[in-house]
Amino acid sequence: GVIVIKQDGGKLVVTAGPALEEQYPANKLERNGDSLAFEVGPIGEPPKVLKFAVTAKEGGLSGEVIVTSGTERVTGKVKFGRH
């Protein structure tokens, strides 16, 4: 997956998706120091919501993602490098 984080004036803009060519806007964005939490979705079929909680460290982002679809919920670890 790919997360894109941009500074637009005083506002942080975040998108995420499976590839750079397929990005979805993040919402419910919360920033606290080096930590960032946000949601993406619903996307796909059946619809899924991805909730990210990541921290900037070692030149990238790492943390957790929770994917919910209907009554199903899956939690996983994520690590993104800087490009």
The pLDDT tens digits along the chain (83 residues) read: 889 999 888 889 999 998 999 999 999 999 999 999 999 999 989 999 999 999 998 888 999 999 999 999 999 999 988 77
What pLDDT does 83 receive?
72
Do the Cβ atoms of 34 and 56 come closer than 8 Å?
yes
The answer to whether the CB of 23 falls within 8 A of the CB of 2 is yes
pLDDT of residue 1: 86
